[in-house]
Amino acid sequence: MLNALAQVLMTVVPFLMVLTVIVTIHELGHFLVARYFGVKVDRFAIGFGKAIFSRTDRHGIEWRIGWLPLGGYVKFSGDMDASSVPDSRGLDTLKREIVAEKGVGAERDYFHFKPIWQRMLIVAAGPVSNFVLAIAIFTVLFSVVGVTLRPARIVEVVAGSPAATAGFQVGDLITEINGSPVRDRSDVSRRTSLSSGDPLRFTVERAGQRLILIATPERRVQEDPLAGRTNMGQLGVLLSSTAAETRQIRYNPIEAVGEGVRQTGNVLGTTLNYIGRIFTGRENGDQLSGPLGIAKASGALTNAAVAANPDPGAMAINLLLTMTSFAAILSIGIGFLNLLPIPVLDGGHLVFYAYEAVARKPVAASVQEAGYRVGLALLAGLMLFATWNDLQKLNLFKFLGGLVS
């Protein structure tokens, strides 16, 4: 019982801590840009539910910490509905109320009466803050800790695999895939996992010679310690490298920023590639993860960091570095999710503002309401689908079936 409780704590607590920090940074992006443009703000909250701490500053902004650590939010003065995009009638009503209470011109301090380009920047600042956070984390890690580069040297070729068919041999060093350099063996798995059914052009070094091999990764099921059961493209090779080939690189601050941008771009590119393959029918979406899958990954990373070295000091450092890297990846995911053109998300607000910029008037209230309901339904459906995937990958149904039989 105690072991099970400890496992739950090791899984849930780090996930909630990381999630709260990331969402707080997201909301802080909205807040800072809004304040820069002089927007009145009623509240900045970390967490939800009943306040365990609350203070109102001299600008009238309430700073609150809620008891439920599931993110946070910013409440702009004058927000009248959940979509925060009132129509022309709603704007007229709001303006009359503000003028009646505070005088002519007071409405210019409210979000909804700011120029449209300012509103778009305020909305976009949240996701952008997530990307900036990820770049900052990668920059610190690459400059302080460095990165280990392990060449993609083949030490085993699975019989009957795409690699065997293509002519790969033990000892081959993969240097390029479709013309893109392979700096680390993780580049090979990242590229092949989302290329099932697509021929890839590999450049390899063999006995001092440069060869070109064409291989088409096949979709296969395997167990991943972080993601559970996965069904992705595989080449059919085992990659390793000798100690002499492995390099530990620490970048200077400028180089580290460039590497941080590149790493963030790689994560975004992989995400876009996967979504594109879903829409073209080449992937079925079974690798989309929801809170359960992300929490499991967080717990697995935490356990691995703790088990890597029993020394308390080393354990604390490993845990800090692991969760910091995890925070960068999760921050990119949250930033990308919020840019999706769904009305309840930042991307949906940007779509409404783009329409307003072209049509010279806000989207009609009926359209906003319908979009808001459809957006909620889409998000709910996406969460249910992702949760179903998580349960499948965690083999929960097989476990329950074993209990019943």
Catalytic annotation, residues: 27
CB 277 within 8 Å of CB 283: yes
CB atoms within 10 A of CB 358: 8
What is the distance between the alpha carbons of residues 165 and 208, in angstroms, rounded to a whole number?
22
What is the b/e burial string over 44-66, where b = at least 16 CB atoms within 10 angstroms of the residue's CB? bbbbeeebeeeeeeeeebeebeb
User: What angle is formed at CA 222 by the lines to CA 217 and CA 223, rounded to 5 degrees?
Assistant: 150
CB atoms within 10 A of CB 369: 16
What is the distance between the alpha carbons of residues 251 and 304, in angstroms, rounded to a whole number?
26
Which tokens is 402 given?
């074993």
Query: Which of 146, 135, 130, 147 shows the shortest CA–CA distance to 330?
Result: 130
What is the distance between the alpha carbons of residues 215 and 236, in angstroms, rounded to a whole number?
10
What is the distance between the alpha carbons of residues 171 and 241, in angstroms, rounded to a whole number?
10
CB 331 within 8 Å of CB 134: yes
Query: Which of 396, 193, 404, 384 shows the shortest CA–CA distance to 296?
Result: 396
Q: Measured between alpha carbons, how far is residue 307 from residues 277, 295, 314 in Å?
A: 37, 18, 10
Alpha helix segments (H runs only) across 174-311: 185-193, 253-279, 291-308
Residues contacting residue 77 through CB under 8 Å, at least 6 positions apart: 39, 40, 41, 42, 109, 110, 111
User: How would DSSP label each residue in 194-234?
Assistant: T-TTS-EEEEEEETTEEEEEEE--EEEEEEETTTEEEEEEE
What is the distance between the alpha carbons of residues 267 and 260, in angstroms, rounded to a whole number?
11
What is the distance between the alpha carbons of residues 35 and 76, in angstroms, rounded to a whole number?
10
What is the distance between the alpha carbons of residues 266 and 285, in angstroms, rounded to a whole number?
19
